[in-house]
């Protein structure tokens, strides 16, 4: 009994070590995500893995322990340098803090591509593959204004942001929405400095249901007549909806969001969310793996999308109440493209 379990253990150990031995001659590509919990990053990893398997690449994945965990990401970069990786795909938790580690990687000859979140400065990476978050915000802003029609001039808007750190994605979506809605921006790199009286207030959600609900409750206390709600992502939107439902306002408030996760798209279908801007994490990752392989074989670096300082991986408006001048896909179509 005991002997057989030892034999089993040895067999298991050999079985486990086999992939490592086999992988030695495959090119290595690293993927470092902010966390391994968010479905967005789970999907991103899946996209990278599928692509890597198809191309005969060894993918090594790492992630921070929580959003904002720079230390783990620095360690992951260091591990990948010493593993002789060809390139790194990274969603930086701390876009400025990670830069020294990224510089060491590039000096060591690795191609570094930022996914989803640009580094600060963006030029610290060889390329950025991301959603145009400003555009994503702008689309739902335009949609909301068009849907309200004349009433847009007297709208009361709640802004449900991510957190108080003013990070790029948060700022771009927030400001994009406001511009799309037709509200004059002050500093486009800053959330909450607008003076338009239509904005009831900003509050933070941590991008989660509980935060969304609390923020919505508190803003409703400031002004019970809120009729437009911008949310940083769909979980926050779902939380905000619960608060509105509890206040008896579920049916006469317009909620807009960004992400394109499957639960979010289903919420569009059910009328919880009016419109959402879908992004494409799977595409981001698979394009990233392609770019690194191309660099490894030809030495060629990816080119940015015209007019932007990054490679745009696309954004799509999902709504079942389309307005004439903004192209949109229905929630049924959205469900075939959604992630998570």
Q: How many residues bind other proteins (CB under 8 A)?
A: 39
Contacts with other proteins in 203-222 (CB under 8 A)?
203-204, 206, 208-210, 213-215, 217-219, 221-222
For residues 50 and 217, which CB has a smaller minimum distance to other proteins in the complex?
Answer: 217
Residues 112-142, buried b or exposed e (16+ Cβ, 10 A)?
bbbbbbbbbebebbbbbbbbbbbbbbbbbbb
Residue 82 CB, shortest distance to other proteins, in Å, is 25
Contacts with other proteins in 18-37 (CB under 8 A)?
36-37
Residue 67 CB, shortest distance to other proteins, in Å, is 9
- 292/125 Cα distance (integer angstroms): 13
* Burial class of residue 241 in the structure, from the number of CB atoms within 10 Å of its CB (0-12 exposed, 13-18 middle, 19+ buried): buried
Residue 281 CB, shortest distance to other proteins, in Å, is 12
Lookup result for tokens 């317009």: 254
Supply the DSSP symbol for 126: S
Question: Site for other proteins (CB under 8 A): which residue of 13, 22, 53, 66?
Answer: 66
- 136/177 Cα distance (integer angstroms): 8
φ/ψ of 117, rounded to 5, equals -115, 120
- 10-18, 111-119, 196-204, 303-311 -> range binding other proteins (CB under 8 A): 196-204
Angle between the N-to-C axes of helices 281-298 and 39-55, in degrees from 0 to 180, rounded to the nearest 10: 40
Residue 291 CB, shortest distance to other proteins, in Å, is 26
Sites of contact with other proteins (CB under 8 A): 36-39, 42, 66, 163-164, 192, 201, 203-204, 206, 208-210, 213-215, 217-219, 221-222, 235, 238-239, 241-242, 245-246, 261-263, 266-267, 270, 272, 340
């Amino acid at each position: 009994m005991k002997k057989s379990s030892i034999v089993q253990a040895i067999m298991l150990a050999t079985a486990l070590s086999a992939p490592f031995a086999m992988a030695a001659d495959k090119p290595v590509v690293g993927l470092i995500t902010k966390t391994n919990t968010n479905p967005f990053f789970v999907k991103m990893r899946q996209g990278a893995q599928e692509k890597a398997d198809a191309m005969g690449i060894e993918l090594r994945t790492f992630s921070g322990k929580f959003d904002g965990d720079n230390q783990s990401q620095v360690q992951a970069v260091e591990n990948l340098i010493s593993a002789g990786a060809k390139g790194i795909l990274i969603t930086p938790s701390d876009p400025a803090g990670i830069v020294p580690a990224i510089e060491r990687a590039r000096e060591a000859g690795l191609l570094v591509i930022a996914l989803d979140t640009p580094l600060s400065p963006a030029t610290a990476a060889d390329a950025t593959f991301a959603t145009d978050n400003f555009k994503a915000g702008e689309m739902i802003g335009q949609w909301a204004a068009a849907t309200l029609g004349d009433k847009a001039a007297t709208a009361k808007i709640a802004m449900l942001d991510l957190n108080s750190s003013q990070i790029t994605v948060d700022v771009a979506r927030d400001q994009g929405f406001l511009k799309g809605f037709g509200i004059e921006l002050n500093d486009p790199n800053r959330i909450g400095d607008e003076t338009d009286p239509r904005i009831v207030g900003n509050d933070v959600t941590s991008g989660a249901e509980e935060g969304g609900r609390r923020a919505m409750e508190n803003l409703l206390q400031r002004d019970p007549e809120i009729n437009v709600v911008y949310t940083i992502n769909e979980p926050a939107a779902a939380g905000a909806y619960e608060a509105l439902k509890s206040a008896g306002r579920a049916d006469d408030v317009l909620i807009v969001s960004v992400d394109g996760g499957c639960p979010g798209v289903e919420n569009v279908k059910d009328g919880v969310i009016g419109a959402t801007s879908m992004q494409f994490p799977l595409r981001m990752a698979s394009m990233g793996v392609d770019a690194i392989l191309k660099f490894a074989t030809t030495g060629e670096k990816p080119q940015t999308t015209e007019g932007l300082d990054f490679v745009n991986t696309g954004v799509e408006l999902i709504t079942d109440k389309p307005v004439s001048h903004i192209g949109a896909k229905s929630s049924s179509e959205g469900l075939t493209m959604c992630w998570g």
